[in-house]
Each structure stands twice: as structure tokens, then as C-alpha cells.
Structure 1
Amino acid sequence: MPTRRSLLAGLATLPLLPRMGLSASAPHRLRLAPAPIQIAPAQYGKTDLWGVNGSVPGPALRARRGERLRVEIDNALPQATSMHWHGIRIENAMDGVPGLTQDPIATGEVFTYDFALPDAGTYWYHSHAQSVEQVERGLQGPLIIAEDEAPDVDQDLVLMLDDIRLAGDASVDAQFTHPHDRSHAGRLGNVMLTNGQMEASFPVTQGERLRLRLINSANARIFALGLQGLTGWIMAYDGMPLPTPEAIPERMLLAPAQRIDLIVDVSASAGEDAFLIQFERDGGYAQAIFPVSAGTSTTRGTPAPLPPNPDHPIELSDADTVTLRMEGGAMGGMQSAQWQGKAQGMRALAQAGQFWAFNGVVGRPDKPLVRASLGQTVKIAMVNDTSFPHAMHLHGMHFAEVLPDGSLGPLRDTLLMMRGETRTVAFNAHNPGKWLLHCHMLSHHAAGMGTWVEVVA
């Protein structure tokens, strides 16, 4: 099996993916189909991916806040599928969750998604059917919603950060239901990718101001990221602008499905390279390279905050609170859990590939975790009683963490819960429908970590 180092050792620079976008003025047709693509060095051959219009990741869908997006999904895959529009506060019927909001799109069928875009920011689309395999093989892409007034930058760059697990011939490792992945940290890849490339390069000039839209589209990897030769500010988390830009720390953790918008200035000198660095236990590696050419050394000030998105106030004084306890996994203390309507022991659950539970229930239950009235504030106390981190994602709405002093943190749609942590989030139930709440380590979701909330108009 090729390791990251063995692949990088033979790597020749690969061509960049085209920086394509699709206009919001007409319906878009996305064809999902097998797409052998050369992502490894040539001696390994092409990788058996599933592309969106022939590319991995798929084309960037671009629109403006307040518009509608209409997308026809043409399924030419050997499996049924669906498409989730991650982070969009969307009409429930368009959310793309088989068995909860729609039937899966069968092979040979076309399904049309048509929805409003209430918020500007960095979002993404990905399969929500058999996701461990389908997202790994490439059914993903950026969804960029422009502000009414864009920030003053010289380049606006999307960086989709991913990993993929390849076999010795550079084919995708087909063990998508391996018990170790399901019961431990999830399916981790052995090759790192940015925009589908092992070595992504973005030419810049000294002194340029860049907007970097970082999207973690990996199955399970938590990226620990840093910058070299770039200085700047965090502008938004998960598409939601910060009221005041934050200084970029030495390391940023980006969990699966999370996004961070940065505005950075190129501080490296001409002839040098700047880097987005991915840290591992044995050091830092270039996740993306920014070759620097001659420019200016003019210093710019702190950028103005991005325009805020529509507000749905979170009133903690009137909130109802529920608890979500995460249990199970390797080294967990769970002995049995409810699954498919009856109690099951861990041996039976493991034989069925189920290793995790929320509140003692494996998989999506018949009843919601909470049923809320429209406009009600809901608090969820999340308890990670497991030995592994979990990226908890709520569909249809954004939440804020309730901090120890009672204030609210920034709005997000995905929260990284480390082992042993207890953290509380709150959201305004402003969007009617049945909304999935699950771990976005996709093997964990497939192995039991999924529930839902219902907002009743």
C-alpha cells in the first residue's frame, strides 16, 4: 500500500483543477458517474473515483445571497444516491436525507433540488446516501454564496481539504465497512488532497490579500492547520461571519464538514513559497503551496467584518434543554443499546456493524430527540462519553455554543466534541421540518451516531 511519503516521493506537479463556477441564473445539471482520474503519480495509474460532471471535487456552484438555486442530479452511479447542501438553512424537502426528507435517487433517475439561499458564505454539497463510500469516491463540491458587498481581496480561493485511502495500485480501498474504522476514529486516508490534488499550488504575489475558504470534506480526519508566509484573520466559521475578525492562531483545528474563511496577506518574499501546513505527529506537511512572485510589501490594516447573515435570536432564558449522550465505540463502556426496536448486546451490535449510540439508542430513532415549536430556543447538552472525538452536525439551522460564563459563542453548524467533553449548544428553531443531527465522522454515523430534531410550525 502506498504511504503518503512514498507517493509524494514520486510526485510530479499535477495540473490544477479548473477554477470553474456555474451561474445561478439557470438550472444546473450535475451528472454523478464513475470517473477514473489521475490523482497519484503516473506510475500508479488512474484512481476509480465517482465524479460530479467528470471532476473530483465537483464544480463550484456559485450564487448570490437571496437567489434560488436549482440543480438537477442525474444519477449514473451503480448505487442510489442523494445530495445534501451542507450548512444551507434550506427548505426541509430539499435537504437530501434519504428516509427522512426524500427517497433516494435510484440509478438512472434525475431529481431536481430547488431552494432559496438565505445566507452568504462558504458551504458545500455532498452525497448523503452510503456516504462513507460515495463521499470518499468524490461526490462532493463547494457551494459558494456571495455577499451583497464582497470584501476587498485580490484572490478568492476555495481549498477543499480531503484524504483518501488508496490500495497499492492507487485504486480506492474498498473496505468501506471495516469494523475498526466504524468503532475507532473513522475511515482515515493515507493520501492528503487539496482540490483533488496531492500537491495543489496557487501562485500569488508579495503583498496580495487573499480570501481562503477552507472546507474539510474528509470522511473522518481532523485537520490541524497552520500558515507560513501568510498572516491574517479568521472571518467566518461554517459560513457564519464573525462580528469582529479574529487573529489566526498558530494551529487551527478543522473537523470533518467544518469550514473556516480567512483573509490573509502574503508576507513571504518574492521567490519563496508560502504554505498552508497540515500538522501530524511527526511534523508539518504542505497541504497547499503558494509560490510568491514580486509584488509590494505594503502593509494593510485589519479587514472590515463580513456582512452579517439574517439573525434568528437565541433566547436562553426561554430555552428547553435536552441531553445527548454519546456512547460506545472501542474502549467504550456501553454493554447494550436499543436497535431496531429492541435491546441488543454489544456482540450482536458489532456483528451488525453498529458500535455507537445516542442516549442508549443505535441509529436514527422513530421519535425525535426534541420536538420544538417554531421560534423556540432549544439547548442540547452534548456529553461525549466515548474515547474518540466526534464532529456533531445539525442540519437546517445553525447553533451557538453556550460558554461557561453564559454567553454565546459564534454560530456554527458542526461542533468538534473531544473525548470526555461536555458542551452545550443552543439554536433558534426557526426552520420547520425534520432535521438530522449526527456525527460527521461518516463511519460513526453509519455505525449508529444519528438522531433528529423536529420543528413544528
Structure 2
Amino acid sequence: MKLSRRRFIQSSFAFTALSVLPACSVNRSYDQQGRPVYDLTAMPSKAELVPGYQTSILGFNGQIPAPTIRCKQGQKVTIRFTNLLSEPTTIHWHGLRIPIEMDGVPFLSQPPIMPGETFVYEFTPPDAGTFWYHPHMNSVVQLGKGLVGLIIVDEASPVKFEEDHQVMVKHWHVDPQGEWKDLMIPRLSARMGTPGEWGTVNGSHNPSYSLQENATTRVRIANVDNTLTYPIRLEGVDAWVIAIDGNPVKRPYPLSEHKVGPGMRVDVGFIAPQAGERVYVRYMKGKFPFPLCEFQCVKSNLSPANVLPRLPLNPIPQIDLDNAQQIDFVFEWQGAVTPVDDTGKASPTFWLINKRAWNGMSENSIPAALASLQRGKTYIFNLKNVTQYHHPIHLHGHTFTVLELDGVKLDEPFHTDTVLLGKNGSAKAAFVADNPGRWMYHCHVIEHLKTGLMGYIEVT
């Protein structure tokens, strides 16, 4: 496939007066059809991650948290993205089923965006839900130092929650004075990855938010961490899982504990308690809860609600299991193999997909696909993790229907873009290969993909 040309800003755009969205400092205007147009910039900046200290970060529009991009299901959105970093970058729109030219993988779907350049991303999201965006270049550093943000796609027919909150969780590799520590330690990359030490929600440590009593509430929890899986629990309220990785579940179910791996999201719904009470979002380490954030309920004029709004299902293509082709994928550990390049720099490789390690690519060197799929056909990926470390397996451009986990057939299959495989875990995930292109397929523990656990599938 020939690489598409960069799409620079053209004078044919016609915009209404510029507006600034509250609490996110992102410029939004509108084209002649009333569709949103955002201006987004990747740039070095400083942020107060640890109170009282300034940390040098990489930020979208120079800020932590990054601006939230909000658009509407079935409506085109335009993002004019400028790279003010000292190195190339791109933006990948994680979880969105959009054309390959907009997927943001360098060389595979678009040329790298060089320093000083602007690229225009345009797409029409078919699915509503909670998604996120991040670079797909030098990911350990660019994501690790702050280039992560949410893109929320509102339902085509509005679903009204009285409160809608974003909880973007991330641990930072900084010391108590906000100075950077190692983002990647190879001996840890060969295990679960190098964990950060300073936990935040939306860039703040254990923040507190207000919540109207009796409000029907949607909390969008997104794991934008490089490494950590967060087993999530809510205390102080009866909460329900209403969406997984942006996709509404057919029948919401009570939240006890939900594991959210790197790149994954979960939306929970509840009716806010009375004024004076608190709702806690906890990160469970074994049996021990650690605080992420809390909501303090305040008085309101809202009447007590009996039910939560229901989310319509996304238009995921119907799978044809009777004619599906099955493909096995084994994720395993290669061992401490550390190649050295011509400059003497070590490039460790620890992980394999079907006995192959990802060794990178360039404009004139694209590795072979892990699998070539026929457009319109249903496939079942038999995923098997033969290591003691978990792997959140993410596929670009498509949505899985998870049929089975750890050998147990699911009574209620669910849709997701990332399947979390636990220690020696397995899954059966089906999808219709309806989106043509070369699509990245990888573990979303960033150090794992960096050291081999990545490849791509081709849909023709």
C-alpha cells in the first residue's frame, strides 16, 4: 500500500468564531457544516505533578492533563495537529474504527510528522464511547512523559447523565522532587515493565471532585499508563459496569472489581449518594485498596432517580461464527537476547508473537504481516499467553467480540479493542475484517511492544 501524503492545513476551511472549551484549554471551531475542528499541538512544557515541584513534560497543548476532544457519533471531526517536539511523532486514535490513513502508525499508515509540521486528521467515528489518543513513535518516552489524552464520542442520540466524569489514571516515573527516573529498565521490561512511582488521576495525586446528590452519574475510567494494570473498585455506592473499552455492554452488571490494563477503559454508572457522603475510586493491590480519587456529594435540587440511562450498543459488524476462520496467536518470552547496533547501543528483545519479535520498520523496510485476512470475512483469534506476566492485546481498526476467557465460554460475549490476558491466560476473540489496511496488533504494555511484542495484520 502506498503511503498517503501529509495533509496540511488548506485555506478552503471556513470556520466560525474560535471558542475555548471549559477546563481543557483546547481551541475548537466549526466548519461550514457545523462540525467541530480542533487545534492540537505536541510540545515540551512543565507541569506540577508533585505538589511544589515543576517537572519537564511533553504535553498536548503543553498541558497535563491533555485536552479532551469531544465529538459525535456519525459526525466528521477534524483535528489539526502540529508537532513542536524535537523529534517525529504521530497520533493514534486508540479504539476508533477509522480509515487506515488516519490511524497514526508511522510508515504503516502515514509518514511520520516531522518537527514543525502540521497534519490534518479527519474521520467520522462510527462508535460512541470513551477512547483515547497518543503517539505511536518513541512510545516509551512520548507516552511516558505525558502525551496521552481522551477522545470522547457522544452518542448520535444523546444519552443524558446528570454528571459525566473522566478519570484518567497514570503513574509517573518521577522522584519525590518531580525529577525523571528511568522510564525503561531492561530487566523489568522482560517482566511486567518498569512501574512509575507517583500515581495521578487527571494529572493530580488523589484529587477530590464534587458530585450532586441523587445525580445519575457516568464515570469514564481510562488507563493511560505505560505499564500498570489497575484492578478498579468503587466504595460508597452501588456501581454498574455500563461500557468496556468504549463499547456499551448489553446488560449492565454490578461492579465488584474490574481489571483495567494499559490502554483499556471501563465506564461505570451509579446514582450519587446523599450530600455529605463520599464515593471512592480505589486501585486494588491484592486485598489492599489504594486511593485514586474521590467524589464528595453536595446538595442539589435533583430528585432521587430509580434507574440509570441505558447506552445504545455500537454498530459492531455481526460475526459469522459458522464460517469463521480460526488463527492461533501465542505470546511468549524469548529470553535475555540483547542485539547491539552499529553504534554499540543495545536493543533488547524479550517477547515474541508466534515466535517472531518485532524489530521495527522504516519507509523502505516493512516486515511481513503476522496474518493476511480477507475483507468481509469473520475470524476468530485464539489468543494464548504462555508467560507469567499479563498482556493487554490491542488490535487497531477493529473491535473484538470476546467469546471465551481462560477456557470458559461467556454467556454474554462483550465487545472490546483490547483483550487482557493474565498469567498463562487465553481468550477467543472474533471480529469481521471489514476495515482494509495494515493494522498494528500488539501488547499495550509499552515496554513489551518496544521489546518485541508487536506486529500487524493485513486486511485486503
Which TM-score applies when normalising by structure 1? 0.87
Q: Distance in 2 between matches of 1:416 and 1:406?
A: 15
CA, structure 1 residues 198+363, in 2 after alignment: closer, same or farther (shift >3 Å)? same
For 2:191, the equivalent position in structure 1 comes to: 184
CA deviation digits over 1:171-228, x for unaligned, max 9?
A: 222x334212321111311011111111322101322221111111000111111112
For 2:146, the equivalent position in structure 1 comes to: 138
Contact 2:184/2:194, CA 8 A, preserved across alignment = no
CA, structure 1 residues 255+277, in 2 after alignment: closer, same or farther (shift >3 Å)? same
For 1:12, the equivalent position in structure 2 comes to: none
Contact 2:378/2:430, CA 8 A, preserved across alignment = yes
For 2:206, the equivalent position in structure 1 comes to: 199
The counterpart of 2:236, out of the listed 229, 233, 240, is 229
For 1:434, the equivalent position in structure 2 comes to: 438
Q: Distance in 2 between matches of 1:106 and 1:276?
A: 40
Q: Distance in 2 between matches of 1:153 and 1:168?
A: 38
Q: Give the share of equivalent positions with the same residue, in percent.
A: 28
The counterpart of 1:41, out of the listed 42, 47, 51, is 51
Contact 2:91/2:136, CA 8 A, preserved across alignment = yes
CA, structure 1 residues 304+206, in 2 after alignment: closer, same or farther (shift >3 Å)? closer
Stretches of structure 2 that go unaligned for 5 or more consecutive residues are 1-21, 360-365
Q: Distance in 2 between matches of 1:160 and 1:379?
A: 31
- Alpha-carbon distance, 1:355 to partner: 0.7
- Alpha-carbon distance, 1:411 to partner: 0.5
Alignment of 1:181-330 (within 5 A): 181-249=188-256, 251-267=257-273, 269-281=274-286, 283-295=288-300, 299-328=304-333
Considering only aligned residues, what root-mean-square deviation do their CA atoms show, in Å? 2.2
Classify the secondary structure of the residue corresponding to 2:383.
strand
Stretches of structure 1 that go unaligned for 5 or more consecutive residues are 1-16, 329-333, 336-344
CA, structure 1 residues 61+422, in 2 after alignment: closer, same or farther (shift >3 Å)? same
Classify the secondary structure of the residue corresponding to 1:366.
coil
For 2:127, the equivalent position in structure 1 comes to: 119
- Alpha-carbon distance, 1:407 to partner: 6.0
Report the number of matched residues.
Answer: 421
Contact 1:20/1:60, CA 8 A, preserved across alignment = no
For 2:9, the equivalent position in structure 1 comes to: none
Q: Distance in 1 between matches of 2:219 and 2:24?
A: 14
CA, structure 1 residues 455+32, in 2 after alignment: closer, same or farther (shift >3 Å)? same
For 1:422, the equivalent position in structure 2 comes to: 426
Q: Which runs of 4+ in 1 moved over 6 A?
A: none
Classify the secondary structure of the residue corresponding to 1:202.
strand
Q: Distance in 2 between matches of 1:299 and 1:168?
A: 44
For 1:378, the equivalent position in structure 2 comes to: 379
Q: Distance in 2 between matches of 1:405 and 1:63?
A: 35
Q: Is residue 2:346 matched to residue 1:346? A: no
Classify the secondary structure of the residue corresponding to 1:363.
coil
- Alpha-carbon distance, 1:282 to partner: 7.1
- Alpha-carbon distance, 1:285 to partner: 2.2
For 2:357, the equivalent position in structure 1 comes to: 362
Contact 1:242/1:305, CA 8 A, preserved across alignment = no
Q: Distance in 1 between matches of 2:196 and 2:358?
A: 25
Contact 1:182/1:353, CA 8 A, preserved across alignment = no
Moved more, 421-430 or 148-157: 148-157
Which TM-score applies when normalising by structure 2? 0.86
Q: Distance in 2 between matches of 1:428 and 1:223?
A: 30
Moved more, 382-391 or 22-31: 22-31
Moved more, 285-294 or 84-93: 285-294
Classify the secondary structure of the residue corresponding to 1:104.
coil
Contact 2:173/2:183, CA 8 A, preserved across alignment = no
- Alpha-carbon distance, 1:272 to partner: 3.4
